[in-house]
Structure 1
Amino acid sequence: FIAATQPSTNWHLKENTRDHHTSKFSSKELIVRRGQAFVVTFNGIEQPEQNLTFIAETGPKPSKQAKTQATFGISSTVSKENWSAVLQSTSSNSASIAISSPANAVIGRYKLSVQSTSSGSSSPATLGTFVLLFNPWSSGDDVFMSNKAECEEYVLEEFGIIFSGNTHHINSFGWNFGQFQGDILNICLSMLDRSLNYRQDPATDVSHRNDPKYLGRVLSAMVNGNDDQGVVLGNWSGNYEGGKSPSSWTGSGEILQNWKKSGFKPVRYGQCWVFAAVLTTVLRCLGIPTRTITNFSSAHDADGNLRVDEFYDASGNHLERGADSVWNFHVWNESWFSRSDLGPSYSGWQILDATPQEESGGIYQCGPASRNAIKEGDVDLDYDCPFVFAEVNADCMYWNYDPATGKKTLIFSKSTTIGQFISTKAVGRDDRVDVTSDYKYEEGSRKERDIFKKARKKLGLEDKFDPTAPTPKEIEQKPDISGKFKVAGPLEVGKDLNLILVLANLQPDVKSVHVNMTAWSTVYTRRPVREIWKDSISVTLSPEEEKHFPVKISYAEYQQQLTTDNTIQITALCHVEGGIQVLVQRDITLDNPAIDIQVLGEAKVNKEVDVEVVFTNPINAEVMDCVLQVEVQEVPSSCYQKYINQNIDMDDFELNTEMTQNFLLAHSFKPAFHLN
């Protein structure tokens, strides 16, 4: 029986959060995972074994049919299929009860109530609220991950490494996911309640929140600011007035907090790694194992024909023509869950992409696409498999285009350019792991080409007439010369850029070649921004001769033209007398100046620690308004825990932070210098 007074509830936060891997959340509210019992003690309850009924409900219109309301009494054993309560112990006026949810329960914030059916009371007593999350430690959950180290990495790890750069020069930088910070869980739940699906039909939307593929797709839409006033607004213009440069963010917490503080207006600005990092934060917070993936030479196939077209004029300038593009790198997410809709062979890692590139189902969202489906060319499966397949395995067509006549001529095509060095952070280490072989078979192999043909056939492209496609004769043409750019010096901001153009005659007769060279500053999507340099040379190549031509672009020439991405594209369009044109291209990413950090003296608990930051100006000019971004971290011996973002003026640098460990780690430090 329930006593006359309102019963009080002891949620046993310490014990329950320890057992449910939720102790990192800084919350006074109980946070547990589905498919696993949690113990609650109720005070003010007499004879709990007699006719007590518990009610757990979530969402605006809870119902048993929608599985957003559960009514259950005390039973002798735990039920795997339904909510259940098992009496653990009793004492005077109190009872400890183990409450279990099914492994496929709807996640979210629940209200728990209790009612005595024998007392004649019709009004249940509210016991309080708790939050239920996905449970990758439970074998019955769709997100179950048998490898415990991977659970630690992909759900509990708050700090990560994201890879960037290009195929010639892979960089990495740290990111503070911060999924357990202050109000982040509440913000993640509010994201779900602000989605288009929730606005259209709240009760139905909440009833689908037991399904990780549903939530992943909804959140891939909500992380970008298109369509639904989501979290981050994308900007690839190179001009970030009215917001922050995407490269200046170092963690998700500030972004999510700013979104809430602004009244849920999109935060300005983000690019692919920001969208992917924020989505990682949200999904890990909700309990879905998630990691970031970087694809180098990533195709954006806008017209869905599994090929990307790039255009150049007679001078070698890269033209913005058509919606297709090839990005130096692109970052998306993989989340781990089963695919009951597709079958067990398509379970495991699923690709989600929050970067707003193409609409899917009428809004900017992408995935979840089964990674296994991508590798096998099963592009007819849900969701967005053709787009993801093209990102890693499209054929690339390079055209010479004459704006005056509208005529285009195929320079060459290549099937091995797209999707290289697909990378993610190693489990428990900061190393780069190459997962390219998980996305496709060996590039250029018969198996890979057969899969490509299979994908085209599934999309009805195999025999489809395309008036813009190159003719077999164009594709079969072989060049008389080959060329490449070699780096001949440091690739650092503030230093001159020295390259060597290498041209080789592949034929047994003399070849006359006229070469038009250009260099443009670009953003990482390879969109040209400003011309930096151009030159032309005429050369004669003896039979099978190789010649080297030095190319120098001084710092003074690119200083004012460089974007914050520090990227330059240099091309040489070679007009061979009596032969076909040859395009030589290289994308350059310049490193920022080096920074050295030293901890001075001994770092002690609860004591200030002095840190020396050494930066040497690499140029013969005064630099103004430099900003140093620092991540400071409390680090237990087993894992990273907490990063603190600080913007510090270099003219008055002083770092004061209360340390809860006896050392400081300057780890994967990401500086952001803008040398004006």
Structure 2
Amino acid sequence: MLIFVQLIYYYFTFCQLFLTGPTPSISTNTKAAMPVSTSGSSTSWSAFRQSSIGGTLTVTIAIPVNAVIGRYKIGAQVTQAGRTTPYQVGECIVLFNPWVPGDELFMSNDAERAEYVLNEQGLIFIGSADSIAGRRWDYGQFEEGVVDICLLLLDSSPEYRRNPATDVSKRNDPIYVGRILSAMINSQDDRGVLVGNWSGNYTGGTSPTTWNGSVPILRSWRQNGPVKFGQCWVYGGTLCTVLRCLGIPARVITNFESAYDTNRNLLIEEYIDPYGRNVDFPDKVWNFHVWDEAWFTRKDLGSFYDGWQILDSTPQEPTEGSFRLGPTSQKAIKEGDVNLSFDGPFVFAEVNADRVVYMRNNDGRISTLSTETRSVGQFTSTKAVGSFSRIDVTDQYKYPEGSKENKAVFDKARRLLSVSVLSGKPPRRMAMAAVARDVNIAQPPKPEITGTLKPTDGLQVGDDVVVTLNLKNPSSVTKKVNIKMTGTTIVYNRTKVEEVLNESKSITLAPEEEKEIPLTILYSQYVNAITADNMIQVVAVCEEENGGNLMVDTVITLKNPPLLLKGSDRAVVEKQAIVDVIFSNPGKENITNCLLILEGSGLLKQPLKIDLPDLKINQRFKTQVEFTPHRTGQRCFMADFSSNKFSDVKAYHNITWYLSRIVPTMQKLISEIY
């Protein structure tokens, strides 16, 4: 760092001061006082003369790798003829530095640093294990005002309000900072950034699926307080922005078939009724769950656990009095070391829990329907370095399912959890199965038939949903089967919204016979029940004459109709660009309340919202946007279209800009409906 000081510097001694926090002191590492000398130090605060011309003295400040991050006031004291005169030089912001060996966040690979610290364009994976999709996310960590918001987040935490001096003194520790941020991105108990909502009804706020990036969320929080609404990928994208902005290498992780274990027994206990409807219970398996990983050392655990550390700001379960999770060593999870700080049992269960489904019959009897050991934690995914493609990191979280290593790790985790319970660390919550163990749980015959549910490929919102139940009788005797099928619109975490279909039928399967049973959910049946997730869960419970039950299910994610962006992928200095946005109404009815939102860091200063006229069947609109960006590099133009029938139709267009200077941002709209 270079500090330019305009002084008559002959015959004086010069001392440089750096101060941060409300009560700076040398003992808490929030104040540095150093004489200006002819050489610097690499291990402590130091100041040395770089050059002197006329009355200007240029001073280089060496900042140690263990410096507290944050905003510093810079001062100087000049002593001449026994008299000391203070000067206010200015201020600066100190961040973590993953480029410097010795820093706890040092990342040696140049390409990875560019991806995990500097890249503003993200890709977050959503959908289901059977249908993985990616959605862009604009981190925007270098947008105007974002670093100030990140520092305000730290100053808004309960820890800072309780003891500001102590809190600031700990901000050289990425473990501490990560734990503060994982709590502050949600608003559950501290008026943090985002209010969670998984009901499917987002009245009074913004649907989580509408968000395209973190910057509008962070700016709204600074101006108005907690922002409505967020879900896991919104929390994950926003936390990633804040981590990268503060110099912490970070990436977003998606875990498919992600377990939510509330009683720390590594067993997901689910209950259904004879139709396959979920009975309320705390444990569940989400279609997917998103969290973050941050890269730093674990001086509290030992060097083996260095590297990626899991942080999750989605408010699921409290830990140490706050809704936060982590940092949890990724290596500790793979090795089953769930007794280490922080929150290891919860993360281990998310990727490696077993799963048992109980049926609660109409007379109250409970029977075991199925037990699975391999279904939880599939296709754990993140964006590849340097490209918009998916890489699978499941093997970084666990050994292959069914391997002897995986079994040994699972048994180890169970033993450690048993010890923690005996030592007085109780489960967070009592699950229903804990009560069920005290009653007689029936063990019905295992079903001999096998089956699958398969939806028609390429289904869009507006289509009738056709699902085929395929049943096979591999035995040598005839089987009579009673089938109960339900279709339910859900949120991605499998929260039930509304049942849209309920059917029963009986069939006979001859020896070794295979049958296909079609099931149709009409558009008119789900149109007013589908959420912005576009998900419908179909369950079939197939009961044999001997009492054996086979349950098969599938989650169908309906695609939105296409939204098209057309424009150049390169632009020249100081010239406006044009992007065309085109959408056609393919539905079976007119659509109303049409809204288009355009945004992109470096391209538009603020999200641009355009109200559009109603669209009749097969009618389309074309909106032309002229704009001049304000930052160089590869940028992503992002569009979101919503109406009363289609929620958050997305489109993206990459543009690389070559600019010699910042120019004003302009927008011009030309819309056509035809």
- Common fold, TM-score beyond 0.5? yes
Contact kept? 1:513, 1:538, Cα under 8 Å: yes
Distance (Å, rounded) in 2 between the aligned partners of 1:472 and 1:139: 61
Distance (Å, rounded) in 1 between the aligned partners of 2:302 and 2:169: 22
In the other structure, the counterpart of 2:316 is 357
- 1:168 maps to 2:130: yes
In the other structure, the counterpart of 1:369 is 328
- 1:315 maps to 2:285: no
What amino acid maps onto 1:556 in structure 2? S
- 1:335 maps to 2:315: no
Task: Give the one of 657, 664, 669 matched to 2:627.
Answer: 657
In the other structure, the counterpart of 2:35 is 73
Change (3 A) 1:463 1:141: closer
- 1:415 maps to 2:377: no
SS of the residue corresponding to residue 326 of structure 2 reads coil
Distance (Å, rounded) in 2 between the aligned partners of 1:364 and 1:596: 40
Of 374-383 and 573-582, more deviation after overlay is shown by: 573-582
The alignment yields a C-alpha RMSD, in angstroms, of 2.6
In the other structure, the counterpart of 2:400 is 442
Contact kept? 2:271, 2:278, Cα under 8 Å: yes
Residue 256 of structure 1 and its aligned partner are, at CA, apart by 0.8
SS of the residue corresponding to residue 213 of structure 1 reads helix
Task: Give the one of 380, 386, 393 matched to 2:339.
Answer: 380
Change (3 A) 1:633 1:142: closer
- 1:325 maps to 2:284: yes
In the other structure, the counterpart of 1:269 is 229
- 1:289 maps to 2:249: yes
Change (3 A) 1:461 1:536: farther
Contact kept? 2:255, 2:289, Cα under 8 Å: yes
Residue 358 of structure 1 and its aligned partner are, at CA, apart by 0.2
Distance (Å, rounded) in 2 between the aligned partners of 1:391 and 1:424: 16
Residue 647 of structure 1 and its aligned partner are, at CA, apart by 2.4
SS of the residue corresponding to residue 342 of structure 2 reads coil
Distance (Å, rounded) in 2 between the aligned partners of 1:326 and 1:646: 37
Contact kept? 1:605, 1:660, Cα under 8 Å: no
Distance (Å, rounded) in 1 between the aligned partners of 2:452 and 2:643: 31
Distance (Å, rounded) in 1 between the aligned partners of 2:481 and 2:182: 49
Residue 665 of structure 1 and its aligned partner are, at CA, apart by 7.0
Contact kept? 1:88, 1:98, Cα under 8 Å: yes
How do residues 145-544 of structure 1 correspond to structure 2 at under 5 angstroms? 145-262=107-224, 265-319=225-279, 321-402=280-361, 405-460=363-418, 468=436, 478-544=446-512
More strand by share: 2
Distance (Å, rounded) in 1 between the aligned partners of 2:6 and 2:103: 32
Contact kept? 2:366, 2:440, Cα under 8 Å: no
Change (3 A) 1:664 1:302: closer
Cα deviation digits, residues 445-484 of structure 1 (max 9, x gap) = 2211221111011000799996645999978964311111
- 1:675 maps to 2:645: yes
Task: Give the one of 531, 544, 559 matched to 1:563.
Answer: 531
Contact kept? 2:447, 2:549, Cα under 8 Å: yes
In the other structure, the counterpart of 1:35 is none
Contact kept? 1:311, 1:401, Cα under 8 Å: yes
Task: Give the one of 541, 551, 554 matched to 1:573.
Answer: 541
Of 64-73 and 607-616, more deviation after overlay is shown by: 607-616
Residue 243 of structure 1 and its aligned partner are, at CA, apart by 0.8
Contact kept? 2:356, 2:372, Cα under 8 Å: yes
What amino acid maps onto 2:337 in structure 1? D
Distance (Å, rounded) in 1 between the aligned partners of 2:289 and 2:69: 31
Distance (Å, rounded) in 2 between the aligned partners of 1:476 and 1:427: 50
What amino acid maps onto 2:483 in structure 1? V
Residue 406 of structure 1 and its aligned partner are, at CA, apart by 3.8
Cα deviation digits, residues 278-328 of structure 1 (max 9, x gap) = 111111110000111111111111111111122111122122x22111111
Contact kept? 1:601, 1:610, Cα under 8 Å: no
Distance (Å, rounded) in 2 between the aligned partners of 1:401 and 1:249: 39
What amino acid maps onto 1:420 in structure 2? Q
In the other structure, the counterpart of 2:618 is none
Distance (Å, rounded) in 2 between the aligned partners of 1:440 and 1:470: 33
Identity %: 43
Residue 118 of structure 1 and its aligned partner are, at CA, apart by 4.6
Contact kept? 2:126, 2:288, Cα under 8 Å: yes
What amino acid maps onto 1:623 in structure 2? I
Cα deviation digits, residues 71-118 of structure 1 (max 9, x gap) = 111234322221001211112222111101111110001111111345
Distance (Å, rounded) in 1 between the aligned partners of 2:638 and 2:401: 32
Contact kept? 2:98, 2:105, Cα under 8 Å: yes
Change (3 A) 1:484 1:472: farther
Distance (Å, rounded) in 2 between the aligned partners of 1:662 and 1:39: 25
Distance (Å, rounded) in 2 between the aligned partners of 1:436 and 1:504: 32
Contact kept? 1:489, 1:498, Cα under 8 Å: no
Change (3 A) 1:506 1:666: same
What amino acid maps onto 1:91 in structure 2? I
- 1:593 maps to 2:551: no
Change (3 A) 1:151 1:557: same
Task: Give the one of 552, 556, 560 matched to 1:584.
Answer: 552
Distance (Å, rounded) in 1 between the aligned partners of 2:76 and 2:285: 58
Of 341-350 and 658-667, more deviation after overlay is shown by: 658-667
Distance (Å, rounded) in 2 between the aligned partners of 1:591 and 1:576: 36
Contact kept? 1:352, 1:369, Cα under 8 Å: yes
Distance (Å, rounded) in 1 between the aligned partners of 2:643 and 2:598: 12
Structure 2: runs of 5+ lacking an equivalent: 423-432, 614-620, 647-674
Change (3 A) 1:565 1:147: same
SS of the residue corresponding to residue 584 of structure 1 reads strand
Structure 1: runs of 5+ lacking an equivalent: 1-37, 635-640
Contact kept? 2:310, 2:326, Cα under 8 Å: yes
Contact kept? 2:141, 2:242, Cα under 8 Å: yes
What amino acid maps onto 1:192 in structure 2? L
Distance (Å, rounded) in 2 between the aligned partners of 1:386 and 1:658: 50
Distance (Å, rounded) in 1 between the aligned partners of 2:443 and 2:43: 59
Contact kept? 2:258, 2:351, Cα under 8 Å: yes
Contact kept? 2:368, 2:444, Cα under 8 Å: no
Of 596-605 and 409-418, more deviation after overlay is shown by: 596-605
SS of the residue corresponding to residue 614 of structure 1 reads strand
What amino acid maps onto 1:419 in structure 2? G
Of 330-339 and 555-564, more deviation after overlay is shown by: 555-564
In the other structure, the counterpart of 1:554 is 522
Change (3 A) 1:178 1:610: closer
Distance (Å, rounded) in 1 between the aligned partners of 2:9 and 2:228: 56
Distance (Å, rounded) in 1 between the aligned partners of 2:211 and 2:526: 25
Residue 596 of structure 1 and its aligned partner are, at CA, apart by 2.1
Contact kept? 2:445, 2:547, Cα under 8 Å: no
Contact kept? 2:594, 2:641, Cα under 8 Å: no
Distance (Å, rounded) in 2 between the aligned partners of 1:192 and 1:462: 32
Distance (Å, rounded) in 2 between the aligned partners of 1:345 and 1:623: 57
Change (3 A) 1:87 1:601: closer
Distance (Å, rounded) in 2 between the aligned partners of 1:501 and 1:157: 45
